[in-house]
Amino acid sequence: MAATEISTVILPLAPSGDFRNEPFVDFKLSANEHAMKDALERVGAMLGHEYDLVIGGERLRTKNKIRSLNPAKPAQVVGIHQEAGAEHAEQAMVAGLKAFETWQFVSWELRTSLLLRAAALIRDRKFEFCAWLVYEVGKNWSEADADVAETIDFLEFYAREALRLAHAEPPIQYPGERNRLLYVPLGVGAVIPPWNFPFAIMAGMTAAAIVCGNTVVLKPSTDAPTIASRFLDVLEEAGMPPGVVNLCQGGPAVGRALVDHPKTRFIAFTGSKAVGLEIHERAAKTQKGQIWIKRTVLELGGKDAIIVSADADMDAAVEGVVASAFGFNGQKCSACSRAIVEDPIYEAFLERIRERVAQIKVGDPVENVYMGPVVNETAMKRILNSIEIGKGEGRVIAGGKRVENADGGYYVEPTVVADVAPTARIAQEEIFGPVLSVIRVKDYQEALEVANDTEYGLTGSVYTADRRKLDHASRVFQVGNLYFNRKSTGAMVGAHPFGGFNMSGTDSKAGGPDYLLLFTQAKSVAEKLR
């Protein structure tokens, strides 16, 4: 599509004021509760539809299918998707390259308009998108709403950030010259998101890439393909020209084909450490015909700790640990999987945690139960295996098994293992499920040492009333996102730019002022004045 045609399909739209986080829905209000129930019913009637690959704006079907199942009722098919092979990765790359010829020269303002329109469409259908997340990955209503709100935030935030980059200037104008600094796009990127924030992370990485003028081959997780297909529809409705985002559903095989492709210019990945490191290695290998060094943006796992100091507000600490450990069943990279508690309050803390965890309800997220199923059978077995390991490494004081149910849903009890050694496997390896290890330490100094003693460095929290301890933690607690006297989950776009240290990733700081730079290269243009 020519640049002149593009200006007729994307209607200009300017940001309305400064960036503000999308407010969360209050489901206690009966109007919102009804709207959500209505959306669940409408989306319920749409389950099981078949969706196509989208390459260069064309719809494609393939031989092999991916069935997205409701983890609360695995017999219920949420969507049937086309599994892409290496040949589709090739076609998608060709389509992305073709679209890049014009998209890179489309004005920042028009590219920004695409994001703002998409945000408006999603806001209008917020309850519907929440319902898709409930069915596809088992989020409760508030968790689904947080994912949708973050999606809108990313679109609105990156739109404004793009306009800021568009008007960037070099720090100095050299005498006798006109100096400019232009942030130009990189090319075609592979965007590979995880399943756990299947809307926000998938849409956020995609939006950041395209608003800078890149084109994308999007390969969503096989556990959450439907929400990505729905996002593609939104982008098209918002006026996205063909080939700017190409949708290739599939697993590791098509992921590898995209990472290896000589024309892939960058890879934006969020997911596990193992896959991230594999991508890092493969992307570093120069392929025949490749004329650039591939850029990787890798956001990986965590083994996040909350330190509870002896002088902490116990009520707040218990609530914060429980919300961080068991919100969305611990399936967040930022989830607290280690509570590190000072000796004087250790026993009292255990007692309070045990009582609080006993109140947690587990059940079908369609009914808005706090804890739903984990995402699939493999995840459930992996988590139960970690719990078995934990039984040999500590004392299970809550949970410890699967929750049996008539629907065959993949429910695991919220599980707390006390008296865990800092070096135990369950204190070192990411479990990505509702399993909390509690570690006893003699004092604050030891707490910080234990907190830092993993290969990860994503999020962390400290509960203490002592300002000096907080100041000390801000210097030595080695994480990308550090929180004081609050939970370790729930990063807000703009306020908490998100990304981790060490094996938690390349610290890309999604939702922050530096993020778009990762999707551009800066060109300095100097003109001698006459």
How many Å apart are CA 91 and CA 246, to the nearest integer? 9
- Decide: is 272 part of the binding site for ligand NAD (CB under 6 A): yes
Q: In the numeric block, which tokens belong to residue 138?
A: 């088992």
Residues with Cβ within 8 Å of residue 24, at least 6 apart in sequence? 142, 145, 146, 149
Residues with Cβ within 8 Å of residue 86, at least 6 apart in sequence? 253, 254, 257
- Decide: is 158 part of the binding site for ligand NAD (CB under 6 A): no
Q: In the numeric block, which tokens belong to residue 422?
A: 């800092």
DSSP 8-state assignment for residue 84: P
DSSP 8-state assignment for residue 518: G
Q: In the numeric block, which tokens belong to residue 466?
A: 């002592």
CB nearer to ligand NAD: pick between 270 and 329? 270
How many Å apart are CA 213 and CA 111, to the nearest integer? 7
- Decide: is 346 part of the binding site for ligand NAD (CB under 6 A): no
- Decide: is 464 part of the binding site for ligand NAD (CB under 6 A): no
How many Å apart are CA 403 and CA 46, to the nearest integer? 28
171: Cα separation from own chain's centroid: 34
Q: Which of 130, 212, 248, 333 is catalytic?
A: 333
Residues 309-338 that bind ligand NAD (CB under 6 A): 333
Report which residue's Cβ sits closest to ligand NAD: 255
From candidates 256, 280, 391, 402, binder to ligand NAD by CB under 6 A: 256
- Decide: is 489 part of the binding site for ligand NAD (CB under 6 A): no
CB nearer to ligand NAD: pick between 150 and 393? 150
- Decide: is 194 part of the binding site for ligand NAD (CB under 6 A): yes
- Decide: is 478 part of the binding site for ligand NAD (CB under 6 A): no
CB 477 → ligand NAD: shortest distance, Å?
17
Stretches 124-132, 396-404, 467-475, 496-504: which one binds ligand NAD (CB under 6 A)?
496-504
From candidates 278, 313, 419, 446, binder to ligand NAD by CB under 6 A: 278
CB nearer to ligand NAD: pick between 187 and 271? 271
Structure-token match 């389950």, residue found: 47
Q: Which of 299, 342, 393, 430 is catalytic?
A: 299
- Decide: is 279 part of the binding site for ligand NAD (CB under 6 A): yes
- Decide: is 453 part of the binding site for ligand NAD (CB under 6 A): no
Number of shown-chain residues binding ligand NAD (CB under 6 A):
34
How crowded is residue 141: how many other Cβ atoms within 10 Å of its Cβ? Answer: 25
Cβ(454)–Cβ(474) below 8 Å: no
Structure-token match 């800078």, residue found: 212
Give the x/- contact pattern for ligand NAD in 216-255, rule: CB under 6 A: ---xxxx----------------------------xx--x
Q: Are strands 65-70 and 73-82 parallel, antiparallel or unpaired?
A: antiparallel
From candidates 96, 399, 500, 511, binder to ligand NAD by CB under 6 A: 500
Stretches 147-155, 238-246, 274-282, 419-427: which one binds ligand NAD (CB under 6 A)?
274-282
Stretches 146-154, 237-245, 299-307, 515-523: which one binds ligand NAD (CB under 6 A)?
299-307
Q: Does the annotation mark 299 as catalytic?
A: yes
Q: Does the annotation mark 333 as catalytic?
A: yes
- Decide: is 259 part of the binding site for ligand NAD (CB under 6 A): yes
Residues with Cβ within 8 Å of residue 503, at least 6 apart in sequence? 273, 277, 300, 301, 455, 456, 457
Residue 347, CA distances (Å) to 62, 270, 344, 494 in order: 58, 37, 8, 38
CB nearer to ligand NAD: pick between 165 and 479? 479
Q: At what angle do helices 126-137 and 30-44 cross, to 10 degrees?
A: 60
How many Å apart are CA 422 and CA 305, to the nearest integer? 11
- Decide: is 275 part of the binding site for ligand NAD (CB under 6 A): yes
Residue 24, CA distances (Å) to 124, 201, 466, 490, 492 in order: 14, 18, 32, 12, 12
Which residues are designated catalytic?
299, 333
Residues that bind ligand NAD (CB under 6 A): 192-197, 201, 219-222, 251-252, 255-256, 259, 270-272, 275, 278-279, 299-302, 333, 430, 432, 458, 498, 500, 504-505
